[in-house]
Structure 1
Amino acid sequence: MRTEFTAQIKKLQLWTAETAVLVAVSTGADSMALLDLLAHLPANLRPKINVVHVNHQLRAASTNEAIFLTDYCAAHGWPLYQTKWPLTAHPAHGTEAAARQFRYDYFAQVLRQQQIPLLLTAHHADDQLETLLMRLARGGDVQQLAAIATERSFHQAKLVRPLLPFTRQQLRAYVTQRQLTYFDDVTNQDTQFTRNQIRQQIVPVLKQIQPLAAEHAANYAAQLQRLLRVNQQQMDQVLIENGQFMATGYRGELGKWQSLSSDLQHLALDQLMTRLMVTQGIEVSQAQKGEIRQLLQGPRAQAGLDLAAGWQLTKSYHYFTIAPAPAPIVAATVDLMPGATCQVEQWQITLQPVSVTGGTDVDSIEVWLAANELPLQIRHRQPGDRLPLRHGHQKIKRILSDKKISQQQRERLWLITTQQNTVLWLLGVKKSQLFNPQQTDKIHYRITIKK
């Protein structure tokens, strides 16, 4: 097996004799085989071995295993980093997932503190088969059927599984031939855990039907991973051609998106959700993706959909955005007295008598105002708001619709009104056209806006 393992390491080309690696060792047969295989690589391929071990304190034998590994590493001159999972941190339910989280958090800590670039684990072809079956039964994205990748990023380092081409049987034969000491984890026989149930009850049946089931699963997973890598590159290009990634989120051109074939829409949306949300640990169900596709293809000019973890899809006329939902609007009214200036978001608003000279770099409107119309109010729009024009009024809602301003933007627009709620200015959109000649009971004012 050493020859095949050496060929696998040459193929991966992930380290040299100068590279430090951190090997996760449980003292089971698989991880002990990995340690021995690494130690017997040719000198030009043999990395600098560091070992990491977590005593989960779930079994009485854990203490003896930790003592054995301490002596074993000392005998070989390998640095050993180990810790215990505190009993007080053990949850009442979900022990397996919690133990894995603690274990990998500790691995990340050691990698960071020791500045080691590679973490090696002893996952093998049978693990791949079990994972594939679990994910097939659970359902979800096709990416999940790629199961365990040979290598992937892990915090600031890389996680590598060099034993994936090899089966559990091959590794057991190797440790037996080498007469290596290892410890069997008795909890691996507990069929209350889904993986153990698959391992003990389903995989043996599959191997009776096809003895090479594990090898075939590893081969299928490798093929699927290659297809997915190519697909991701191509779908990234589709997304760039049909929209743009923002600092947080994505803005797409609706017409271009709708012109894509149904298959392209499915694949591009999968990649978009992966980039925006799944990589952040946010799950997006197939049902929710179906809702997104239906909304984007539907006839409504404006629509919205709440997604997981505070994300939101907003469709507005020619565009759609997928981004974290904006903070809720706090209803507020700002009073503006003559001679005063106030700041409302990006707007600097001033009210002065016309006799006071204004700057040349500001936008303005002139009005005649009576004392009872002051102070002016700066507020968000309300139902029924109308903008005075020279011949009548125009509903604010109609103005926003004509200008195709999205619902999200509408909710954040500011208006300047009198105390009688006469709208003088819809900021950033349109001014009133008051036929307001000089009047003896009113004062001539200029409202100026500067961004």
Structure 2
Amino acid sequence: MEQEVFAFLNRHQLIPKHTTVLVGVSGGPDSIALLHFLKNLQFNWDLTIIAVTVDHQLRNAASAEDCRFVEEICQSWGIPCVARKVNVRQYQKEKGVSEEVAARELRYSVYKEIMREKNAHILALGHHADDQIETMVMRLARIATSNALKGIPVRRKFAGGEIIRPLLGVTKNNILDYLGKYRLHYRTDKTNEDDTYTRNYYRMNVVPLLKKKNPNLQETIQTLSETLSQDEQYMQAETKERLEKVVEFRENKQEICFAADAFLELPQALQRRGFHLILNYLYGTLPKDLSYIHEVNFFDLLRRRNGSSSLDFPSRLRITNEYGQIHLQFGHQVSAKPAHSSLLTVPGEVLLSDGTRIESTMVKEAPAENEATFVFPLDSVSLPLHIRARKAGDRMSVRGLNGSKKLKDIFIDAKIPKNLRDNWPIIADDKGVILWVVGLKKSETVQNGKGMNIKLKLHRDDN
């Protein structure tokens, strides 16, 4: 393993001599092997090595024992060790995230804190080639952009320095052979055998099948990851340069303006990256409920040529198209009328002038409906959805009724005052098919029990 790791370090120039290196150590085989390797490198390269271990308090006494094990190893090797505890369960409740996400975010917050305390330039982590395979395969199954597919980076900026991963060029078996060669002890985490965790499922059930077809899969995947990363760096730089000629970035980072035609003249690959650069610029940290559907709706909005229309993104970011001029701004003011010309993203929400809001989500099962909710199959409509006011001659197909009915008659039957009818929110699909006169009538849709459903919900102050 030593030769492969040395070659990897030199090829990527990961560790300069005379520097301070933090090492994330869990007590497992990967991190113990990495710590031992760097310890052996310490004298010749004049490195200051500091171990950091984090007790996630998820496995009762076992978690604390892992930390004590790391501290004892470090003491015997003459390496300083910093140990910290984090409360994953509490963080989960506060943030509404999974156990895996909560543990990772808290662990990295500890790393950031210690890097600054110790004035360290590098944080070394023990991810290896098999971790890279798992990550790439997992992302291939659920990610729609090439940028996200590039996998675990060999290095990335972090806390004023860098995170590096020296073991990405070697496999788990290489690491176990190294541990056996030097008779190194390590801890095992029983949760790694629980395939209810997403990564464990891929490691135990998917990756072995791929390795049967390609015994050198780790080399293929790492080469692919590095190639995609290099390509993406170039594309990002090109996008930024071209975007600055088209888009007006305001210093307050609260709004952006540009002409739709100028943006759409960019190559499509740069348009997609430009969209994400704009969101990163405005948000800083992207909301977790952003999805590829928001991207689809964004480009649909850019291509509209008639009048004005808008759509709402998470965290009260509104995007408007006023006769080809695009404006993105936070904290938009609610207009005097409902957002009748607005696009309703899925997922997403639109705020109406009376303080109510309409929320859209994707659901697998079709839940029970009531007056304030409407559920229908995704494949039964043409996206994006629109919230608008009524138009002369509007008709809709009503549940339980053969044929269609005039919206005028629906309002009369419901005894809606005339002064409210013109501002009543109506939801239609992109082909103009009226789906819901909100709170009054729903269109006839077929629940086929297959695929995803769209759920619309009207939120009032009292619910």
Q: TM-score, normalised by structure 2?
A: 0.66
Query: What is the alpha-carbon distance in structure 1 between the residues aligned to residue 87 and residue 245 of structure 2?
Result: 51
The equivalent residue for 2:70 is 69
Query: What is the alpha-carbon distance in structure 2 between the residues aligned to residue 38 and residue 170 of structure 1?
Result: 16
Residue 75 of structure 1 aligns with an amino acid whose one-letter code is S
Deviations 1:24-54 (A, max 9, x none): 0011110011011111227453521000001
Compute the displacement of 1:259 (Å).
3.1
**What is the count of residue pairs matched by the alignment?**
331
Assess if the C-alpha contact under 8 Å between 2:304 and 2:324 holds in 1.
no
Residue number among 189, 209, 213 corresponding to 1:185 in the alignment: 189
Query: What is the alpha-carbon distance in structure 2 between the residues aligned to residue 20 and residue 304 of structure 1?
Result: 51
Compute the displacement of 1:260 (Å).
3.4
Q: After the TM superposition, which residues 272-351 of structure 1 pair with which residues of structure 2 at under 5 Å, given as runs?
A: 272-277=278-283, 279-281=285-287, 284-326=290-332
- Aligned residue for 1:174, secondary structure, equals helix
Assess if the C-alpha contact under 8 Å between 1:301 and 1:316 holds in 2.
yes
- Aligned residue for 1:22, secondary structure, equals strand
Compute the displacement of 1:195 (Å).
0.6
The equivalent residue for 2:112 is 108
Task: Mark the CA change 1:261 to 1:144 in structure 2 (over 3 Å): closer, same or farther.
Answer: closer
The equivalent residue for 2:48 is 48
The equivalent residue for 1:266 is 272
Residue number among 173, 177, 184 corresponding to 1:173 in the alignment: 177
Assess if the C-alpha contact under 8 Å between 2:305 and 2:324 holds in 1.
no
Does residue 1:143 correspond to 2:147, yes or no?
yes
Residue 57 of structure 1 aligns with an amino acid whose one-letter code is Q
- Identify unmatched segments of 5+ residues in structure 1: 331-451
Query: What is the alpha-carbon distance in structure 2 between the residues aligned to residue 267 and residue 98 of structure 1?
Result: 28
The equivalent residue for 2:235 is 231
Query: What is the alpha-carbon distance in structure 2 between the residues aligned to residue 95 and residue 263 of structure 1?
Result: 35
Q: After the TM superposition, which residues 201-220 of structure 1 pair with which residues of structure 2 at under 5 Å, given as runs?
A: 201-220=205-224
Assess if the C-alpha contact under 8 Å between 1:167 and 1:215 holds in 2.
no
Assess if the C-alpha contact under 8 Å between 1:91 and 1:98 holds in 2.
yes
Residue 239 of structure 1 aligns with an amino acid whose one-letter code is L
Query: What is the alpha-carbon distance in structure 2 between the residues aligned to residue 40 and residue 54 of structure 1?
Result: 23
Segment drifting more, 224-233 vs 301-310: 301-310
Deviations 1:189-244 (A, max 9, x none): 00111110111111111111111122211111111111110000011112112122
Assess if the C-alpha contact under 8 Å between 2:89 and 2:99 holds in 1.
no
Assess if the C-alpha contact under 8 Å between 2:287 and 2:315 holds in 1.
no
Compute the displacement of 1:129 (Å).
0.9
Residue 52 of structure 2 aligns with an amino acid whose one-letter code is V
Task: Mark the CA change 1:41 to 1:140 in structure 2 (over 3 Å): closer, same or farther.
Answer: same
Query: What is the alpha-carbon distance in structure 2 between the residues aligned to residue 328 and residue 198 of structure 1?
Result: 46
- Aligned residue for 2:38, secondary structure, equals helix
The Cα RMSD (Å) is 2.5
- Aligned residue for 2:290, secondary structure, equals coil
Assess if the C-alpha contact under 8 Å between 2:4 and 2:170 holds in 1.
no
Task: Mark the CA change 1:67 to 1:255 in structure 2 (over 3 Å): closer, same or farther.
Answer: closer
- Aligned residue for 1:172, secondary structure, equals helix
The equivalent residue for 2:84 is 83
The equivalent residue for 2:249 is 245
- Aligned residue for 2:166, secondary structure, equals coil
Assess if the C-alpha contact under 8 Å between 2:14 and 2:155 holds in 1.
no
Query: What is the alpha-carbon distance in structure 1 between the residues aligned to residue 288 and residue 258 of structure 2?
Result: 21
Task: Mark the CA change 1:227 to 1:274 in structure 2 (over 3 Å): closer, same or farther.
Answer: farther
Assess if the C-alpha contact under 8 Å between 2:88 and 2:103 holds in 1.
no
- Identify unmatched segments of 5+ residues in structure 2: 337-463
Residue 102 of structure 1 aligns with an amino acid whose one-letter code is L
